[in-house]
Amino acid sequence: MENIRQALERAKAYRPEEQSGIYFEASQKQAARNIADRNHKKAVEFELDSAYLQSQRIVAYNGQDPRSRSFDILRTEVLRTMDLKGWKTLAITSPTPSCGKTLTAINFALSLARQSERQVSLVDLDLRKPHVAASLGLTCRDGVLGVLEGRIDIERATIEARIGSSKLDVLPTASSLNASDLVASPAMKMLLQDLAGYGQSRIVILDLPPILTGHDVISILPQVDCVLLVAAVGTSRVSEIEECNKYLQVTDVVRFVLNKVPETAITTYAYY
């Protein structure tokens, strides 16, 4: 009889709704841990070499380098506009090759990465002639190309690049002979949507091909928030910049950068 009474008391104390709630909460926590572990295993970390970056004219990782000042000013101006508008994706392009768009994109991304409250993704979408990986000293076998062709997911294709206390996510790419079809594909649209949805504090910087060398940029521009147009003295013609305006009507041009300006034309500021 005593055993029966103890069993009844245990039955009264048992509350299945609470037990199921505890089990559900535990399952959620375990699922979150599983996702975190899986993403951690997918992340590839790489320590950038400062000497190599210097050889590539990449300087904005070091806030004490006077050469990073122009990129820091650009960062401040661009972010002011992007934050005001709620924009998250910035495309960087140029009228033609050799204007320094990739160099600008990388230095801008590294300047931004020095702000600890920001998360930065640098994505190479120049599928014809990618330069981001080589400029940073990275090796890329698939990257964006692998994601678009369904061989790899974004997390596994991304490289977490670090230098000093700064870090940024780099999504490089291998080149493709089928670039036009890939940039206009549903896979590209999904990739851009996934990148833009990563988080409120994340800024996605897209290194696009030159506008006037093909139709790739025309396919991507409607899917980005704003554009930074890079031209160069001695390389870009006024007529080429004006022609770019026809294609830039679909998105906002947040800033215009003029590279290769002779040093004698640059005003020097003294600080005390």
Q: Residues with Cβ < 8 Å from 101, sequence gap 6 or more? A: 92, 93, 94, 207, 208, 210, 230
Domain extents in the chain: 2-32, 45-265
pLDDT score at 115? 93
The structure tokens 């060398």 sit at 213
Whole-prediction pTM: 0.81
Superfamily the domain 45-265 falls into: P-loop containing nucleotide triphosphate hydrolases (3.40.50.300)
DSSP H stretches of helix in the chain: 2-13, 16-42, 50-55, 69-85, 101-113, 132-136, 144-148, 154-157, 179-183, 186-196, 216-220, 238-247
Other beta carbons within 10 angstroms of residue 208's beta carbon come to 25
pLDDT at 168 over 60: yes
pLDDT at 58 over 80: yes
Q: What is the per-residue pLDDT across 19-47, written as a single tens digit (0 to 9) for each?
A: 444 444 444 544 444 444 444 445 589 99
Exposure string for 28-54, b = 16+ CB within 10 A, e = fewer: eeeeeeeeeeeeeeeeeebebeeeebe
Contact (Cβ atoms closer than 8 angstroms) between residue 109 and residue 205: yes
Q: What is the per-residue pLDDT across 106-129, written as a single tens digit (0 to 9) for each?
A: 999 999 999 989 999 999 999 999
